[in-house]
Structure 1
Amino acid sequence: MSSFAISTSSFDIDNNPPIQQLLQNGMQVTTNPHRRKLTEDEIIELLQEGATGLIAGIEPLTERVFQSASNLKVISRCGAGLDSVDLAAAKKHGIAVFNTPEAPAQAVAELTMGLILTLLRQIRQIDQSVRNGEWPRTQGRLLAAQTVGIIGMGHIGRRVARLCQAFEATVIAHDPYASQVPADVALISLEQLLATADIITLHLPYGPETHHLLNAKAFTTMKPEAIVINAARGGLVDEDALLAALQTGKVSAAALDVFEQEPYHGPLIESGNVILTSHVGSLARESRQLMEIEAAENLLQGLIKAGLINNG
């Protein structure tokens, strides 16, 4: 019997019409038993029953995975990024690959704004002080007075730009591939952005050319008291260099939703001026539902096109 797999840590099967259509077509579904990001060996194990389709999370989908999953014909990423998928290997094995770039964009943009405002107004530290019986009169900073530098002007970066502009912040951006830029956003070089922005937020894909884009040299270039936000991909930031920059005060604060190794257990946990969240950028109820339905629809249409199920 034909089957498909869902490797994301969570997925609402019951309230997803395309998934129900696949099940009504006689397909069986296998889900992620670990409820977290899978390793290469674990995704191989999940696909070992001969799945023809996969709704993918951020696990490594490599040549080795594709060699072991000889029946796999369609991958539908539940999310925007495709850096976890070896696209050349997928093509070689005749596997169609889809993603959902629009669905999670608002959720990630809004989380980014929440992180920026929390850091500027020191909300987390004030909350902790009040709980400890103190009544601090902490002076924060206005977003309206900041220059926000956005690296990556795709679906998410453009939303962040518009939200920052609604707060009357100045927005600058770097993206050599940008095709659309909101009005009043200046596109500049990376070096200029690092030296000019008060807040630097990352919204670009991860790859060999962007590995540790923010490294020790980049942190040295930044303005005093710069704030760094990463809700994109963990490998974009050299976490050791960030910790050093936080310890010296070169970077005043940071917020990370993504890490090179997840779950994260590294030394940034001990830093008081960094917010750490557990890769929850897309996990707003409305966006997540939209993203899951879009991913399932992509899988359904891919399997129909491949002739593996009937359209009806």
Structure 2
Amino acid sequence: MSQGCILITAADLAPQALALLADYDIVYAGKTPTEDDIVALCREHDPVAIIVRYSKVGAAAMDAAPSLKVISKHGSGTDTIDKVAAQQRGIEVVAAIGANASAVAEQALALLLACAKSVPQLDERMHEGLWDKATHKSLELGGKTIGLVGMGAIGQRFARMAAALDMRVLGFDPYARHWPENVEQADLETIWRESDVVSLHCPLTEDNRQMINAQTLAKCRKGVIIVNTARGGLIDEAALLAAVQVGQVRMAGLDSFAVEPMTAGHSFQNQPGFILSPHIGGVTGDAYVNMGLGAARNALAVLAKSGGTIAA
């Protein structure tokens, strides 16, 4: 007998995670669900848990599912979940923190190296039959300073990668419980002033929204590289575009954007100085399984506390 319904705000979930949820009816919201889709499915199926991959889950969805006990994020960022509304309704919000840390840190490193070494641009020119050895100069990262905003699982992993490149690593995170030995603790003003590279690894909150803006970019070293594998809302996109166009920012390597998915006509498209990827930092085969397992286990743990099931 089913112990209730679990709604997945996507078209799939790792088989290993589904095996943990075998006692529940699973409902999928599809590849690109809207908020209205989520509300309608909650009203129809009254899930006891929602595993969030795509779309937002707000108060309307929660009110449409009176049996809802837990909203479990398939990953670490919970900014697409209305946590205030959930708390007011006694619904627990949990996240699979660290499940995709390796994948996202590797994407940050890939973007950094692509920016410093002009990999995409040189590849394109080589395929056109051009040979730029006499005119091209890359940026050497050894000895340069990188400032990391956010020192959670992803930030700490990326810090080790940067240190392995012989970079000086600065870090800012007022909430960090453990501080890595190879990272100098710094405030944001020091990050802006002293970094040759700034990389974002923090959650998006109302306090740090558009923390990269015209004022903070003006404080940075001329030719700074900006890397963002966190949330697009951390950056004022118009200000970043202007800073790239005047050379204050050498390159920007971005995996997340203020509005997703990015659509045709975005100001970053076909602009020199930008290397873009479609928010796929955490999308690897291993991370897909790890995030699914983490989200399923977290949901089951909350349901167990509420008498809904036995935790796996």
Amino acid at match of 1:40: E
Q: What is aligned with 1:64? A: 60
Distance in 2 separating the partners of 1:283 and 1:171:
26
Choose from 256, 259, 281 the match for 1:258. 256
1:9–1:57: 8 Å Cα contact kept in structure 2? Answer: no
Q: What is aligned with 2:94? A: 98
Amino acid at match of 1:6: I
Q: Tell me how far 1:19 sits from its aligned partner.
A: 2.3
Identity, in percent, stands at: 32
Matched, 1:125 2:127: no
The 3 A distance-change label for structure 1 pair 298 and 132 is same
Choose from 53, 70, 80 the match for 1:74. 70
Distance in 1 separating the partners of 2:40 and 2:157:
38
The 3 A distance-change label for structure 1 pair 298 and 177 is closer
Q: Tell me how far 1:238 sits from its aligned partner.
A: 0.5
2:300–2:310: 8 Å Cα contact kept in structure 1? Answer: no
Q: What is aligned with 1:45? A: 40
Distance in 2 separating the partners of 1:8 and 1:236:
25
What TM-score do you get using the length of structure 1 for normalisation?
Answer: 0.93
Q: Report how many residues are paired.
A: 305
Q: Deviations over 1:270-297 (max 9, x none)?
A: 2121111111111121122111111111
Amino acid at match of 1:133: G
Q: Deviations over 1:209-267 (max 9, x none)?
A: 01100011111111111000110011000011111111111101001111111011211
Q: Tell me how far 1:76 sits from its aligned partner.
A: 1.1
The 3 A distance-change label for structure 1 pair 9 and 139 is farther
Q: What is aligned with 2:238? A: 240
Distance in 2 separating the partners of 1:242 and 1:81:
23
2:304–2:310: 8 Å Cα contact kept in structure 1? Answer: yes
Distance in 2 separating the partners of 1:144 and 1:237:
26
Please, which runs of 5 or more residues in structure 2 have no aligned partner? Answer: none
Amino acid at match of 1:292: G
2:69–2:92: 8 Å Cα contact kept in structure 1? Answer: yes
The 3 A distance-change label for structure 1 pair 90 and 204 is same
Q: What is aligned with 1:288? A: 288
User: What SS is found at the alignment partner of 2:268?
Assistant: helix
Q: Tell me how far 1:123 sits from its aligned partner.
A: 0.4
Q: Which residues in structure 2 correspond to 1:1-312 (within 5 Å)?
A: 2-8=4-10, 10-12=12-14, 15-16=15-16, 18-23=17-22, 25=23, 27-33=24-30, 35-36=31-32, 38-48=33-43, 49-137=45-133, 138-265=136-263, 266-309=266-309
